[in-house]
């Protein structure tokens, strides 16, 4: 099977977990390359619901090996709990799950700093998940943080190193936030115990992935969050702290560009966003509430209600271009089953002018107002469809327009929550 990179094309929560689960059964490796437990990838298998925050979605398939790459920030307490949860459900994962020694270690003081910073900013906050992602990445770029490889140190040396880091963090908590210190020795002792559990899976990822690099083994790269949250290319400062775009797959795994294969973006048939930041097609009031309820748009990680709006083709084209996508997958098309009219934003009104290019400079995006093209709804359920030909004509026309405006083929369409409710269209859709 050809390698693939799966990238969120919008503001995250596009349904990447389901798609990775569906595609990973035929690969040797599934590789997470950025982010941390702020991700919430949900997979429905029959009546069972699985939510994965750190572990790649391919873990649900026997024989598939999974790696938490060096571009991630890993909370070892959360990783332990996620492992236990999977094992209690009957999944055998210990010999298939690996963690790069270069991944940053996310500590409890990172979460505390995250919460305190958001509280201090008040309504001007970013709207983070509170999982400590930003502070952990800050320690990484400052070259002061711990890494997963540190868990391989002898117990006494590890404990001393952790206590030193916690005491340093306590100074920040006290001086910057006037907060209570973290219990350094208690946390260090807990981490020493966790190290015994996690040490067997901490690896030199460069050598582990030699088969992928040589083309002997196949890999699926699993992105977290979405393109519009990329720290360099997203709606800064309302972004995450990592590269969610295709470049993150390279730096987060250490694999070369030739190993990437197909680059495929996941887009909802509408848009959602969690937290603060510009969102041109956002629906306020009752229309937004209806779409939220229809799509079950509440965060898998935080439970927060997601902001909802219509499909933004201007932002989506930008996402396709910046990632070099050669295919897209549309998810949650079935959520629009009851809509009598389905609008798509094809341009923006910006300072009296109509623009169809995504504005990346300054603070232009908050001033943009969507220019819509409306499509008739299909007003009938899609969850039983398994081919493009089975979809109602109105749904096919909607997909055909999205394919035209994005400029790349739609290679798959999700029409329900379950892993089986998919339509695969490797050659694209036609109206």
Average the pLDDT over 120-138 and give the result.
Answer: 82
Q: Where are the domains of the chain?
A: 4-100+202-263, 105-199, 267-424
Mean pLDDT, the chain, rounded, equals 94
- Of the candidates 91, 107, 336, 133, the one whose C-alpha atom is nearest the C-alpha of residue 225 is 133
Average the pLDDT over 74-93 and give the result.
Answer: 95
User: For residue 158, is pLDDT > 70?
Assistant: yes
The pTM for the full model equals 0.94
Residue 214 has a CB neighbour count (10 Å cut-off) of 9
Q: What whole-number distance in Å separates Cα of residue 418 and Cα of residue 147? A: 36
Average the pLDDT over 115-124 and give the result.
Answer: 81
- Residue pair 127/276 in contact by the 8 Å Cβ criterion: yes
From start to end of 18-175, where are the E strands?
A: 29-32, 41-45, 48-52, 65-68, 73-74, 97-100, 104-105
364-406 tens-digit pLDDT: 999 999 999 999 999 999 999 999 999 999 999 999 999 999 9
Q: What whole-number distance in Å separates Cα of residue 377 and Cα of residue 111? A: 44
21, 41, 53, 75: which is the annotated catalytic residue?
A: 41
- Residue pair 344/313 in contact by the 8 Å Cβ criterion: yes
Question: In the structure, what pLDDT confidence band is assigned to residue 39 with cuts at 50, 70 and 90?
Answer: confident
Q: Is 41 a catalytic residue?
A: yes
Q: Is 233 a catalytic residue?
A: no
User: For residue 431, is pLDDT > 70?
Assistant: no
Question: In the structure, what pLDDT confidence band is assigned to residue 269 with cuts at 50, 70 and 90?
Answer: very high
Average the pLDDT over 63-84 and give the result.
Answer: 97
Report the topology of domain 267-424: Adenylosuccinate Synthetase; Chain A, domain 3 (3.90.170)
206-240 tens-digit pLDDT: 999 999 999 999 999 999 999 999 999 999 999 99
What confidence score (pLDDT) does residue 164 get?
96
More confident residue, 116 or 327: 327
Q: What whole-number distance in Å separates Cα of residue 126 and Cα of residue 131? A: 13
Q: For the domain 4-100+202-263, what is the CATH code?
A: 3.40.440.10
| Residue carrying structure tokens 């209690």 | 88
13, 21, 75, 230: which is the annotated catalytic residue?
A: 13
Percent of the chain with pLDDT over 90: 86
Q: What whole-number distance in Å separates Cα of residue 352 and Cα of residue 98? A: 53
Q: Which CATH class is domain 105-199?
A: mainly alpha
What confidence score (pLDDT) does residue 284 get?
96
What confidence score (pLDDT) does residue 399 get?
98
Identify the weakest region by mean pLDDT among 58-67, 116-125, 269-278, 380-389: 116-125
Q: Do domains 4-100+202-263 and 105-199 have the same CATH topology?
A: no
What confidence score (pLDDT) does residue 44 get?
83
């Amino acid at each position: 099977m050809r390698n693939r990179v799966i990238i969120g094309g919008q503001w995250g929560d596009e349904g990447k977990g389901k798609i990775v689960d569906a595609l990973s059964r035929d690969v040797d490796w599934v590789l997470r390359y950025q982010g941390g437990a702020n991700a919430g990838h949900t997979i429905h298998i029959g009546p069972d619901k699985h939510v994965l925050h750190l572990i790649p979605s391919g873990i649900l398939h026997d024989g598939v090996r999974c790696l938490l790459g060096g571009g991630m920030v890993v909370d070892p307490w959360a990783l332990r709990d996620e492992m236990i949860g999977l094992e209690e459900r009957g999944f055998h994962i210990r010999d298939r799950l690996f963690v790069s020694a270069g991944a940053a270690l996310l500590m409890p003081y990172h979460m505390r700093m995250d919460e305190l910073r958001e509280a201090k900013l008040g309504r001007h906050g970013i709207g983070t998940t509170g999982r400590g992602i930003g502070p952990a990445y800050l320690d990484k770029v400052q070259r002061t943080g711990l890494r997963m490889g540190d868990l391989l140190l002898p117990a006494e040396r590890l404990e001393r190193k952790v206590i030193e880091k916690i005491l340093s963090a306590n100074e920040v908590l006290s001086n910057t936030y006037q907060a209570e210190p973290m219990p350094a020795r208690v946390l260090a002792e807990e981490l020493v115990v966790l190290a015994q559990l996690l040490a067997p899976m901490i690896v030199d990822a460069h050598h582990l992935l030699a088969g992928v690099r040589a083309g002997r083994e196949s890999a699926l790269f699993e992105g977290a969050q979405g393109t519009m949250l990329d720290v360099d290319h997203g709606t800064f400062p309302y972004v995450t702290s990592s590269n969610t775009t295709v470049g993150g797959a390279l730096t987060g795994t250490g694999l070369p560009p030739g190993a990437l294969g197909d680059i495929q973006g996941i887009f909802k048939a509408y848009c959602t966003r969690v937290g603060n930041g510009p969102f041109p097609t956002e629906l306020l009031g009752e229309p937004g509430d209806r779409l939220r309820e229809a799509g079950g748009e509440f965060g898998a990680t935080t439970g927060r209600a997601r902001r909802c709006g219509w499909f933004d083709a201007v932002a989506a084209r930008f996402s396709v271009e910046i990632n070099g996508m050669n295919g897209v997958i549309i998810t949650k098309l079935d959520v629009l089953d009851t809509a009598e009219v389905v609008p798509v934003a094809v341009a923006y009104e910006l300072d009296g002018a109509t623009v169809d290019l995504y504005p990346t400079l300054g603070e232009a995006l908050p001033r943009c107002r969507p220019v819509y093209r409306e499509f008739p709804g299909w007003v009938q359920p899609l969850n039983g469809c398994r081919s493009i030909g089975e979809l109602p004509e109105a749904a096919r026309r909607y997909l055909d327009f999205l394919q035209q405006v994005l400029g790349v083929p739609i290679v798959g369409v999700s029409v329900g929550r379950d892993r089986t409710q998919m339509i695969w269209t490797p050659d694209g859709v036609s109206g």
